[in-house]
Amino acid sequence: MKLTEFESLDVLQKFLDNGDKLNNIVFQSLDLSDYTLQLLSQPLKNCIFLGCKIDPGVVDEIIYKGALVFPPLTGIPYKAFRNSLYTPEELLEGFEKNSPESLDKMFDTKVFNHFVDMGRTNPTSIFETFARSLHDHSITDSLEEFVENKKIVAIMGGHAVKRDEPEFKNVAEISKRLTEKDFVMTSGGGPGAMEATHVGGWFAGRSDEDFMKAINFLSQTPDYKERFDWISTAIEVKKRFPLIERGGKTFESLGIPTWLYGHEPPTIFATNIAKYFANSIREDGLLAIAKSGVIFSPGSAGTVQEVFQDGAQNHYVTEGVISPMVFFGKDFWTNKLPAYDLLKRIAKGREYEKLIIITDDIDEIVDFISDYKY
């Protein structure tokens, strides 16, 4: 049975205006207070209400009609039932310019502190476990809708890369050029190479001069550990250089961070953010959606894990396709952490072997990703 999802009141109203019947519908986190009479006049068979605001006096009748009603969950700082991905503005809510103390008031910080207080990855409350699962399910649902019919490329790399290091600028340049070729760039959504990915996406369509002005300005606060200044500088860059529009659309990118690493601030250069509690779901999903390729810039244990996780997806074709794996940095991936040679041995004789390259050349990376068709 196929269910139709309503994630805005506009969509619901158009549906009702067309005279269609409300059967097999999922209502996601909507305020339906003004729709009581319409709901009661509808069959509502196999409908599901997720975290919706409904007149309490009619809930029993809605259930009697055959619907399932999951009320909003209270007592938590986040919404368990979401109908969209996060925006940077949502995560920054409470942040105030010239007020370092406002970091503790920021929505993202409040949720992270709650995550810690409730036992991190081992919550002390089954209610918290339930709420997180519902939240992450909602994020995945919105994520799947976002990536549909888009060419997704992921860049993996170290969180410790500073804004004033050459690697930061190089990753941003790769991302900028691929975004201009209509790829949607994604990353783990944190600092370092992850932030560079979204800086590049943000500056797609802009001149190299604007791009370098931004890189130089960001370099004034190179380390994310200076959290307040790091965020403030990013806000100022976005203000000075708004997103460019092309063909009636603005360029987009997708950050996929997690509150497991909530001590790392999320990059606000990502236009869409799928933030999770469960890092395992986040990691698997991040690699699974990158069907147009994954670029591995230098990193540590997390990046190496992602190399072989992506390699396994290609090896067993678990996502139904194989996709390019690009190692950016010959010395790093052959001498410092020789993952490239090992992966090539594992891939020997397999179809994806020819989709694994190692290079220091940005042009080669852009061309290799652009030429691939799955």
pLDDT tens readout for residues 240-282:
999 998 888 899 999 999 999 999 999 999 999 999 999 999 9
Mean pLDDT of 142-149: 96
- DSSP string computed for 20-72: ----SEEEES-B-GGGHHHHHTS--TT-EEES-B--GGGHHHHHHTT-EEEPP
Q: What is the pLDDT of residue 246?
A: 84
Residues 64 and 147 in one domain: no
By CB atoms closer than 10 A (0-12, 13-18, 19+), residue 371 is exposed
Helices 362-371/166-180 angle, 10° precision: 30
Could you list the residue range(s) of the whole structural domain that residue 41 is in? Answer: 4-70
- How many domains does the structure of the chain reveal? 2
Residues 27 and 160 in one domain: no
Q: Helix, strand, coil: what percent of the chain each, to 5?
A: 50, 15, 40
Q: Which two tokens stand for residue 163?
A: 């804004």
270 in the same domain as 187: yes
Q: Is residue 194 part of a domain?
A: yes
Angle in degrees, CA 311, 179, 355, rounded to 5: 25
**pLDDT exceeds 80 at position 110:** yes
In-domain check, residue 39: yes
| Model pLDDT, residue 374 | 74
Instruction: Read off the pLDDT of each residue in 342-362 and give the average, rounded to a whole number.
Output: 97
Q: Locate the DSSP E strands across 228-363.
A: 245-246, 249-250, 253-255, 272-273, 294-296, 325-328, 356-359
User: Which residue has 């997806």 as its token pair?
Assistant: 313
Calpha distance 43→65 (Å, rounded) = 6
Mind listing the pLDDT tens digit for each residue in 362-374?
999 999 999 998 7
3-class state of residue 156 by DSSP: strand
Q: Are both 55 and 183 inside the same structural domain? A: no
Residue 107 located in a structural domain:
no
Distance of alpha carbon 213 from alpha carbon 341, whole angstroms? 38
Among candidate residues 45, 70, 95, the one where a domain is terminated: 70
Q: Give the C-alpha separation, 131 to 82, whole Å.
A: 11
* Mean pLDDT across the chain: 96
- pLDDT given for residue 221 in this prediction: 98
Mean pLDDT of all residues in 93-102: 96
Flag whether 115 is in a domain.
no
Tell me which residue of 352, 285, 340 sits closest to 312, measured CA to CA: 352
The tens digit of pLDDT for each residue in 2-12 reads: 889 999 999 99
Do 354 and 246 lie in one domain? The reply is yes
Is residue 58 domain-shared with residue 179, that is, in the same domain? no
In this structure, the answer to whether residues 247 and 359 fall within a common structural domain is yes
**In this structure, are 171 and 296 located in the same domain?**
yes
Taking 80 as the threshold, does the pLDDT of residue 39 lie above it?
yes
Residue 316 lies in a domain: yes
Q: Are residues 65 and 147 in the same domain?
A: no
Rounded Cα distance between 6 and 316, Å, is 36
Q: Give strand ranges (E) for the chain.
A: 4-6, 25-28, 48-50, 68-70, 151-156, 183-187, 245-246, 249-250, 253-255, 272-273, 294-296, 325-328, 356-359
Q: State which of 22, 46, 70 marks the end of a domain.
A: 70
pTM above threshold 0.75: yes
Q: Quick check: is 80 in a domain?
A: no
